[in-house]
Structures are given as structure tokens and as C-alpha cells.
Amino acid sequence: RVGDFDIVGPLGKGTFGVVLEGRTTNSGQWWSVKQDRVAIKTLEKKRCCRSPARTKLTLNEMKMHKLLMGTASGEHSNLVHVRDMMQSHTHVYVVMSMGACDLTQYTNTTRKRNFLHQTRADKEICKGVLKGLETMHSYFKAAHMDVKMENVLIK
């Protein structure tokens, strides 16, 4: 359990920690609302702060997450919505809205679909990724340092 979120299981692993699937609960009852699925990025403090360079990277990422928390979720629709941040003695937790799937999962399940339809969808996904990166660059003055298919979430 992390804050008000129950851990469902792992979603992925990164350099400094893991990403877990979580769900909000209401008096111990699972909510059936899809929006209550969240991704919880779990960063181990001892791994993030082994060197001044790693500490700086981690602090910059946390700064970005705090900026995203201060914006309305619809304001930057091509960026993940950060719902909460918290920490323990050993970890930092970033709670984010969760997409239906990531780009790797999406491409694996849509390869057999109509080519023309898929090409249009691919263009929309590319436009969304580029809009998100442009927003990070122009609005937040930041560059995404880990662009990969697993970090592109599909609604």
C-alpha cells in the first residue's frame, strides 16, 4: 500500500526503481471506475542519490512532476497527469494517471488491423508525442530524457 493506493502488481522497471499498478480504494472496496487505475513510480532514494549527477537528475525529475501536478489534467493532454507525490524514509513515490496501454502493447495488438486505418492512427500518435515533447520544451523548459515506446501511453 502506498498512501491511499493499493498495489496491484508491477508494470515495469527502470534505472532507479519500478513502476507499479495501483488502484484507489473506498473503505476497502475496489472502485469500478477506470480512472482509478494509477501508475506508481517508485524510486529508491539510495539508488537515486549515489552521486551528485544522479541526485541532480532525480531532483530535476521531481521538479517536473511537481510542475505537472500544478496544472489541470486537460491543460496538457499529451502529458501524463501527476496525481500525487509522497515519500518514505527509503522511497519517493509519484502517482500518475494510467493509460489503457503503452505504445509497445498497442502496436503488438493492432498489427493485424486495416492498414489505412492503422496509418491514420499512427499519425495521430506521432502528433501527440510531438505535441507533448513540444509542451515540455516550450512550457516547462525541459527535455524528456527517456523517450521510448513503453513511455508513450495510449488512452
Annotated binding site for ATP: 41
Find cell 508513450 and name the residue: 152
Tell me, rounded to whole angstroms, the distance of Cα 84 from its chain centroid. Answer: 12
Q: Closest by alpha carbon to 67, among 153, 141, 4, 148?
A: 141
* SS3 labels along 12-75: EECCCEEEEEEEEEECCEECCCHHHEEEEEEEEHHHHCCCHHHHHHHHHHHHHHHHHHCCCCCC
CB atoms within 10 A of CB 138: 9
Q: Closest by alpha carbon to 93, among 133, 57, 51, 48?
A: 48
Binding residues: 41
